[in-house]
Amino acid sequence: KIRKNDKTKHYINLANYIHINFIIKCIFHLPKLLV
């Protein structure tokens, strides 16, 4: 049985993970775009 709180926490963690990956990708691609 999964409590609603655990599910919400899971989605927040997932969103943070995707957001961090997005920022890292942007940081790696910025130098290529600026050159």
Instruction: Assess if residue 14 is contained within a domain.
Output: yes
Alpha carbon distances (Å) from 10 to 1, 14, 20, 26, 31: 14, 6, 15, 24, 33
Higher pLDDT, 10 or 2: 10
Whole-model pTM above 0.85?
no
Instruction: Assess if residue 35 is contained within a domain.
Output: no
Q: Give 4-33 pLDDT, tens digit per residue.
A: 889 999 999 999 999 999 999 999 988 887
Instruction: Assess if residue 19 is contained within a domain.
Output: yes
Instruction: Assess if residue 4 is contained within a domain.
Output: yes
DSSP string covering 1-35, please?
Answer: ---HHHHHHHHHHHHHHHHHHHHHHHHHHHHHHH-
Instruction: Assess if residue 34 is contained within a domain.
Output: no
Query: Where in the sequence is the domain holding 18, given as residue range(s)?
Result: 1-25
pLDDT at 1: 64
Indicate the burial class of 24 (C-beta count within 10 angstroms; 0-12, 13-18, 19 or more): exposed
Flag whether pLDDT at 35 surpasses 80.
Answer: no
Domain total in the chain = 1
